[in-house]
Amino acid sequence: CLYLRTEWALSSGQGGSSVHTNAGRGPSPASSPPFSFSVSRARRVNPCSGRRSGSCCPSVRMSWPALYAQLVGANRHSTSLGKIWLSVLFVFRVMVLMVAAETVWGDEQSDFVCNTLQPGCENVCYDQFFPVSHIRLWCLQLVFVAAPTLLVSMYVAYRNHGDKKKLLENSSRTGFLSSRSPEEELEALKRRRLPITGPLWWTYFISVVAKLLIEVGFMYALHVVYDGFRMPRLVQCDQWPCPNLVDCFISRPTEKTIFTVFMATASSICMVLNGAELAYLVTKAITRSLCRKKDGTLTSREKTWRGTNERSPGSLRCCN
């Protein structure tokens, strides 16, 4: 088999990781959760069934439910547009990729047929026209696009950690001040939804900008590598060792074009949602700073109370 089957698991349940390459073995020490990465040699998967050649089936398989579990946790601190974006991402992109697109591209190399018996010609021509498969590009795109959200959840975890330490210090120094026990306070701290202000606003803003840039980058890369979103039926190839200009036929080009257009549309919808979210964040920040100027007479205690207890600062509520 020419390819490795890679399993990525983004869950802390997975144990250590080791990396085996095609050339040789090179185990690496276990990585810390929540990321672990293991590579196994190729094995048969469903897209191979019924294939004439009976060769190994290369594919990259993601543990998408594990990624979903990670992102849903970060979802609590998102805006409504962010939550819609996550739903669109999982329903229209990840689901469609896993359920439909992977089977369409499953036989892309084995059914890439050139009008020649020359050994090596098909391999070389396939490699020339498909430097990176669509499926791999989309998997990478989805992983990179989901990554900035983890930045936000890391910041929230860091903030919760700091607040937890302060809470424990206060309760040990001064005893019970509130009616709730420390355990209840800690639980409330874990469950609370932080308002998107201050450093969290900047982290969130940067994560949305990063998502938008990554989406644009990948769409551009797909367009450049495949010269548009259309898959031709026939390509002509004259790489060595092909004897002369040979015709090579791509398998299922129409179905591939349909799915490429579908995924490009879903990607555009996500970009529009990200743009709208940026506009919303900026507008909210501007109105909040205008309100703050008007409420300049608040005492510092009222300001602190408002900063930690506001659920979702309304745009003009503080100005009433």
Partner 1 sequence: MPLTPPAEPDPEPKMNWASFYAVISGVNRHSTGIGRIWLSVLFIFRILVLVVAAESVWGDEKSGFTCNTQQPGCNSVCYDHFFPISHIRLWALQLILVSTPALLVAMHVAHRRHVDKRIYKLSGRTNPKDLEQIKSQKMKITGALWWTYVISLLFRVIFEVTFMYLFYMIYPGYKMIRLVKCDSYPCPNTVDCFVSRPTEKTVFTVFMLAVSGVCILLNIAEVVFLVGKVCSKHLHDAGDTSMGAWIQQKLRLL
Contact stretch for partner 1 (CB under 8 A) within 34-42, 168-176, 267-275, 300-308:
34-42
Stretch that binds partner 1, among 82-90, 219-227, 263-271, 291-299 (CB under 8 A): 82-90
- Of 216 and 316, nearer to partner 1 (C-beta) is 316
- Tally of CB atoms within 10 A around 170: 13
User: Exposed/middle/buried for 253, CB within 10 Å: 0-12, 13-18, 19+?
Assistant: middle
Pick between residue 210 and residue 306 the one whose CB is nearest to partner 1.
306
Binding status of residue 50 toward partner 1 by CB under 8 A:
yes
Picking from 84, 72, 80, the residue whose alpha carbon sits closest to that of residue 312 is 80
Of 43 and 161, nearer to partner 1 (C-beta) is 43
- Give the C-alpha separation, 142 to 263, whole Å: 11
Q: How many residues bind partner 1 (CB under 8 A)?
A: 56
Query: How far apart are CB 96 and partner 1 at their closest, in Å?
Result: 6
Q: Please report how close the Cβ of residue 303 comes to partner 1 at its closest, in angstroms.
A: 20
Report the residue from 12, 31, 46, 170 that binds partner 1 according to the rule CB under 8 A: 46
Stretch that binds partner 1, among 135-143, 243-251, 276-284, 291-299 (CB under 8 A): 243-251
The smaller minimum CB distance to partner 1, of residues 117 and 224, is found at: 117
Question: For the chain, how far is it from start to end, CA to CA, in angstroms?
Answer: 69
Distance CA 182, CA 179 (A): 10
Q: How far is the CB of 50 from partner 1 (least distance, A)?
A: 3
Say how far apart CA 85 and CA 143 lie, in whole Å.
Answer: 15
With CB under 8 A as the contact rule, which of the stretches 142-150, 154-162, 236-244, 250-258 interacts with partner 1? 250-258
Binding window for partner 1 (CB under 8 A); candidates: 17-25, 157-165, 198-206, 284-292: 17-25
CA 173, distance to chain mean position in Å, is 44
Residue 163 main-chain phi, psi, to 5 deg: -65, -35
| Cα–Cα dist 199/203, whole Å | 6
Q: Output the smallest distance, CB 267 to partner 1, in A.
A: 16
Identify which of residues 49 and 165 has a Cβ nearer to partner 1 in the complex.
Answer: 49
265 binds partner 1 (CB under 8 A): no
**Span from 50-58, 156-164, 165-173, 198-206 in contact with partner 1 (CB under 8 A):** 50-58
Residues 110-129 close enough to bind partner 1 by CB under 8 A: 111, 113-116
Under rule CB under 8 A, residue 52 binds partner 1: yes
Among 2, 43, 128, 154, binds partner 1 (CB under 8 A): 43
What is the contact surface with partner 1 in residues (CB under 8 A)? 16-18, 20, 27, 38, 40-41, 43-47, 49-52, 61, 64-65, 68, 80, 83-84, 87, 90-92, 95-96, 98-100, 103-104, 107, 111, 113-116, 233-234, 247-255, 258-259, 262, 311
